[in-house]
Amino acid sequence: MAYAVTLARGLTWLHDGADGGDLIAAAASGGVAHPPGYPAYLVLARLFLLLPFGSPALRTNLLSAASAVGASLLVADAVRLAHGGRHRIGAAAGVLAGFAFGLSPLLWSQAVITEVYGLHALLVAASLRALPVWPGTQNSLKAFAFWGAITGIALANHLTSIFLVPAGLGLALFGRACPELAEGSGRRMHSLAGAGIGLAAGVALYALLPLWASRHPAINWGNASTGSGFWWLVTGEPYRGLVFQAWPYLWSRLQAGAGLWVEQFGAVGLVAGLSGLLITNRQPVVLRWILLWLFLCFSVFAIGYNTSDSYTYLLPAFLAFAIWLGQGLAIWLEAAGSWQRVLTALFIVALFFNAVPAMARVDASRDDTAERFGRAVLEGAPPGAIIITSEDRDSFALWYWREAAGARRDLIVVVERLLPFDWYRDQLRWTYPDVQLAPGSGARPGTGWADELIRLNDRPVCRTFPDQNEVLICDSLLKPASDRLERIASA
- Distance separating alpha carbons of residues 311 and 182, to the nearest angstrom: 38
Read off the pLDDT band of 178 (50, 70, 90).
low
360 burial level (CB within 10 Å; 0-12, 13-18, 19+): exposed
Instruction: Measure Cα distances from 111 to 117, 221, 236, 362 in Å.
Output: 8, 25, 24, 9
Beta-carbon contacts of residue 451 (< 8 Å; ≥ 6 apart): 443, 480
Q: Measuring CA to CA, which residue among 117, 104, 120, 122 is closest to residue 2? A: 104
Please state the separation of Cα 96 from the chain's center in Å: 25
Strand, coil or helix: what is 393?
helix
- Distance separating alpha carbons of residues 283 and 135, to the nearest angstrom: 9
Give the end-to-end CA distance of the chain in Å, rounded to a whole number. 30
pLDDT of residue 353: 85
- What count of other Cβ atoms lies within 10 Å of the Cβ of residue 280? 11
- Is residue 120 within 8 A of residue 154, CB to CB? The reply is yes
The count of residues in the chain is 491
Sheet holding 461-466, edge to edge: 412-415, 386-389, 461-466, 472-477, 486-490
- Specify the range with the lowest mean pLDDT, choosing from 92-106, 180-194, 318-332: 180-194
**Does the bond joining 383 to the residue before it have cis omega, within 30 degrees of 0?**
no
- Specify the range with the lowest mean pLDDT, choosing from 239-253, 300-314, 408-422, 450-464: 239-253
pLDDT of residue 244: 75
User: What mean pLDDT is predicted for residues 425-447?
Assistant: 79
Q: Is the pLDDT of residue 469 over 50?
A: no
Is residue 108 within a helix (H) or strand (E), and if so which, with residue range? Answer: helix 105-111
- What count of other Cβ atoms lies within 10 Å of the Cβ of residue 311? 18
pLDDT of residue 143: 86
Q: Measuring CA to CA, which residue among 484, 485, 467 is closest to residue 475? A: 485
User: What mean pLDDT is predicted for residues 25-29?
Assistant: 97
Phi, psi of 412 (to 5 degrees): -115, 110
Is residue 234 within a helix (H) or strand (E), and if so which, with residue range? Answer: helix 227-234
Q: Is the pLDDT of residue 466 over 90?
A: no
- Distance separating alpha carbons of residues 476 and 135, to the nearest angstrom: 65
**Amino acid at residue number 336:** A
- Distance separating alpha carbons of residues 452 and 448, to the nearest angstrom: 6
- What count of other Cβ atoms lies within 10 Å of the Cβ of residue 157? 27
pLDDT of residue 174: 73
- Distance separating alpha carbons of residues 416 and 437, to the nearest angstrom: 13
Q: Is the pLDDT of residue 144 over 60?
A: yes
- What count of other Cβ atoms lies within 10 Å of the Cβ of residue 159? 16
pLDDT of residue 76: 95
User: What value does the mean pLDDT of the chain take?
Assistant: 86
pLDDT by residue (tens digit) across 73-118? 999 999 998 877 557 888 899 999 999 999 999 999 999 999 999 9
pLDDT by residue (tens digit) across 42-70? 999 999 999 999 999 999 999 999 999 99
- Distance separating alpha carbons of residues 311 and 259, to the nearest angstrom: 12
Q: Is the pLDDT of residue 26 over 80?
A: yes
Q: Can you give the pTM of this predicted structure?
A: 0.91
Q: Measuring CA to CA, which residue among 82, 73, 76, 78 is closest to residue 94? A: 76
